[in-house]
Amino acid sequence: MQEIMQFVSRHPILCIAWIGLLAAVLFTTFKGITSKVKVITRGEATRLINKEEAVVVDLRQRDDFRKGHIAGAINLLPTEIKANNFGELDKHKDKPIIVVDGSGMQAQEPANTLVKAGFEKVTVLKDGISGWSGENLPLVRGK
């Protein structure tokens, strides 16, 4: 214990950084566990699409969407979701929703907005379209 106290007194900035990182990890873990929106793998997404008729919501810009998207995906921008402008997605409130972006990093907030709007089962695709295409899963062009 005395060695720990000596280390702390000699390296206060390092210890503060370590405590900050630990707090961030605990916060992120707790938030992920308690969130209504779960992050799913590509295998789980494929199962939801094939077995439960999940609807894929692609958050990327229109040009990126046209270059390649998951079959049957609906293209909605995060700003449209934030403004509660769901378009054709409104008729799918009872189906599972898979929110997809380019890398899986920007989809959590729009997914939370969908949950607040009454969509029952909302998930986020881990690694987004980059992970999907990285495993050579099919993409559709156009639309």
CA angle centred on 45, ends 43 and 46, rounded to 5°? 65
State whether residue 90 is helix, strand or coil.
helix
* pLDDT one-digit tens code per residue, 11-37: 999 999 999 999 999 998 888 777 788
Do residues 68 and 110 lie in contact, with contact meaning Cβ atoms separated by under 8 Å?
no
* pLDDT one-digit tens code per residue, 56-114: 999 999 999 999 999 999 999 999 999 988 888 888 888 999 999 999 888 999 999 99
Do residues 40 and 126 lie in contact, with contact meaning Cβ atoms separated by under 8 Å?
yes
Exposed (0-12), middle (13-18) or buried (19+): which is 99, by Cβ within 10 Å?
buried
